[in-house]
Amino acid sequence: MAEVLSSNLGYPRIGEKREWKKALEQFWAGKISKDDFLATVKELRLSYLKKQKAIGVNLIPVGDFSLYDHVLDTAVLFGLIPDRFNKGEKKIPLETYFSIARGSKEAEASEMTKWFNTNYHYIVPEISNQTKPFITENRLLALFNEAKNELGIIAKPVIVGPVTLLKLSKGYDQDHFKPLLELLIPLYIQIFNELKNAGAEWVQIDEPVLVRTLSDEDLDVFRETYRSLRNGVPGLKLLLQTYFEAVDAYEEIIKLPVDGIGLDFVYGREANLGSLQTFGFPKDKVLAAGVIDGRNIWKTDLADTFGLLQKLLGYVGGKEKLFISPSSSLLHVPVTVRNEEALDPVLKDALSFADEKLAEAVTLAKGLNAGKAAIEAEIEKSREDQQALQQSDHRNNKDVQKELRHLGSELPTRPGSFKLRQQIQADAFQLPVLPTTTIGSFPQTPEVRQARRNLRKGEWSEERYNQFVKDETAKWIKIQEDIGIDVLVHGEFERNDMVEYFGEKLAGFAFTRFAWVQSYGSRCVKPPLIFGDVDWKKPMTVKESAYAQSLTKLPVKGMLTGPVTIYNWSFVRNDISQADVFNQIALALKKEVHALEEADIRMIQVDEPALREGLPLKEEKKAGYLHDAVYAFRLATSFVNNDTQIHTHMCYSEFDEIIEAIDALDTDVISIEAARSHGEIISTFEDFKYKKGIGLGVYDIHSPRIPSVDEMKSYAERALQVLDPKLFWINPDCGLKTRKPEETIPALKNMVEAAREVREELGNKIGK
């Protein structure tokens, strides 16, 4: 009998308690052998498949598991190896794979950037015009056979599609796009035919670029590509998967010669549903309906979603033509709510992580197959749990709601122009040309992490822990002074995470114990849950900043995370608008900025590294988002005195399309990464004449290598071709918490020396 099937697009890699991360880092540190490492990750990989099978998922993916990043996996599969790592091997060693991602003593890592508008970072494939792709090893076939032979699962292999892979790559001229694609397509066909011969029924081809605005030429490329794939692999069912938004060219996409099309009915619900209603859906294709939120952590409204699915069922022509799935890979959410025993029951009952989302998909499929009555109990429980949270005091803070209502529509403004502030601040701080600073954090050594654990477990008193943090702060203030850095930071030794730390001190946030998600490589973050009205309770950073400032005559920056980044790096309530949550956080941070200024901290850095990543994928939505982001930042910072210098920091993003919004933040100094992208960001400032203070990071902190003085000088000198030396700062790309002291100190010494040499070379061209 024909049935609706449940399908998963991708499962979290990291394990319920980050077992994957721990295995990776032990291997990198040489604490376990390669064989032991590979055995451990295989055990984890199989356990994930077993769990999905036990939940009842019909179509379980393989190829979603990665040792670092799925885009890197796809690039390596096709031999797309940067020249500096290419030793001519047909099979790429594991060591080379990790070197591309992390760098080595001999070569810089490949660039890393955000995966569409998420907080996941992928490794950008590097391709030259002369690149000749080849299959290094059919890893999808190995993973398919592993699931089939060891668990009896006929899995659904998942791969990044050829158009998306090339669109996200760099290094080749645009007129080589089609020739490169023509070289890749036969390789995809070979991979798919080997999968078909092994017994695969479906293969999921991820083409998320389809949710971006496409030109007629782009659509022609998709037609030609999928015609070739279809002709080259008869008998294997191709599922063309999109996510993160609606598809604009719906009428053209549904004509592509594939067996199924995956659409996002969470983040692209209105537009995708509207297209379906206008143009219908082909009767010879399966609709993979992404109706479970793959990026947030709230329970699905089962009643509403069941109604949506019944509507979709009317368009597709039969139950066998509908798959129920998350809206995207579950890579972006934690593994399971089950382990969160300490959460408020009202909150916990409203949550759904990866395992629970898959269970929701299975439940909805059951309801469509057996009738709504078969899942009435689940629907009612879902409704009660969400209603209990909505009616709780957490979401009904009258004071916060009153503050929101009294906000004006005009952008908040600083009391003086940048030109006036620049002169006042120059007189106040007396900094040299090309002042040096760092982004904020210093190494979170094993001792620092152990001290935090000791406090959490009650093995240390608050007093002992505070003294430890003071000692670390004093040590690193002295190190910075000895190195010769001009503007210091306190090091953030008291902070577990740049968002979590603030959330723990604000009302409206909750914290989990095991709800980790992957950010990049083995770097995992545990996003706070913004589940209620956000409110400031008491100073959060003043004690540490004031103590650090008391130890030195040099300026010490106060360090805060900005409202947009706190939003974008949290799991956020979905019952009020994004702008309202931005502004609730901004109002709380405004009180903290005021407290720092009252404590005579005259440089305050309000970091917004995630501002770009939240940019909507649709052109028509971008202006509204940027306006709301700028408003919130200025709400938090614009009231300060002219002699208080406001800094911000952003990292690992393409800034061209938001440079005007960056300028509109009206900060006194912004620091932006430059080294990881090999200085490419500098070209943005050739087109846009930025007139405020700016620091372009001169070394990549995500690699363990120590860059030379000459290397850092080259980035600074390149930047000074387009930037005013009187406005230019020198700093690392990002915070240094993930680096070791023995990597950090020599690198900072080289940075200061690079700044000194560039100052000397500038000579009399500029005044002090």
Query: 422-761, which class in CATH?
Result: alpha beta
User: Sign (positive/negative) of CA torsion 721, 726, 732, 735?
Assistant: negative
> pLDDT for 169-188, tens place per residue?
999 999 999 999 999 999 99
Between 107 and 471, whose confidence is greater? 471
Is it the case that residue 118 has pLDDT exceeding 80? yes
- Give me the mean pLDDT over the 692-719 stretch: 87
Torsion of CA 303, 307, 312, 315, to 10 degrees: 160
> Counting every residue, how long is the chain?
768
Residue 406 among known ligand-binding residues: no
Pairing of strands 523-525, 488-489: unpaired
Residue 21 among known ligand-binding residues: yes
DSSP code per residue over 252-287: HHTTSS-SEEEEESSTTHHHHHHHHHHH---TTSEE
Write out the E strands in 118-268.
Answer: 121-123, 156-160, 202-206, 237-241, 260-264
Residue 536 among known ligand-binding residues: no
Residue 66 among known ligand-binding residues: no
- Which residues on neighbouring strands pair with residue 488, listed in sequence order? 556
Provide φ and ψ at 200, rounded to 5°: -65, 140
> pLDDT for 728-752, tens place per residue?
999 998 899 989 999 999 999 999 9
Residue 439 among known ligand-binding residues: yes
Assign residue 38 a region (left: φ > 0; alpha: ψ between -120 and 50; beta: otherwise).
Answer: alpha
Residue 613 among known ligand-binding residues: yes
Residue 63 among known ligand-binding residues: no
Residue 18 among known ligand-binding residues: yes
User: Sign (positive/negative) of CA torsion 747, 749, 751, 753?
Assistant: negative
Active centre residues (catalytic): 702
Residue 252 among known ligand-binding residues: no
> pLDDT for 556-601, tens place per residue?
999 999 999 999 999 999 999 999 999 999 999 999 999 999 999 9
The H or E element spanning position 500 is: helix 500-503
Is it the case that residue 292 has pLDDT exceeding 60? yes
> pLDDT for 50-83, tens place per residue?
999 999 999 999 999 999 999 999 999 999 999 9
Residue 366 among known ligand-binding residues: no
Contacts of 474 (CB under 8 A, 6+ apart): 551
Contacts of 559 (CB under 8 A, 6+ apart): 440, 489, 490, 492, 541, 545, 605, 607
Roughly how many angstroms between the first and final C-alpha of the chain, as a whole number?
Answer: 81
Token reading at 632: 């919130």
% of the chain beyond a pLDDT of 70 = 97
Q: For 5-390, CATH number?
A: 3.20.20.210
Pairing of strands 529-536, 728-729: unpaired
Report the mean per-residue pLDDT for the chain.
94
Residue 28 among known ligand-binding residues: no
Contacts of 662 (CB under 8 A, 6+ apart): 611, 650, 655, 670, 690
Could you check whether 5-390 and 422-761 share the same CATH topology? yes
**Burial label, 429 (beta-carbon count in 10 A; 0-12, 13-18, 19+):** middle
Integer Cα distance of 645 and 664 in angstroms: 16
- Under the banding of pLDDT at 50, 70 and 90, the label for residue 365 is very high
Residue 119 among known ligand-binding residues: yes
User: Sign (positive/negative) of CA torsion 604, 609, 611, 612?
Assistant: positive
SS3 326: strand
Distance (Å) of CA 422 to CA 51, 425, 646: 59, 5, 11
Domain range list for the chain: 5-390, 422-761
- pLDDT score recorded for residue 677: 60
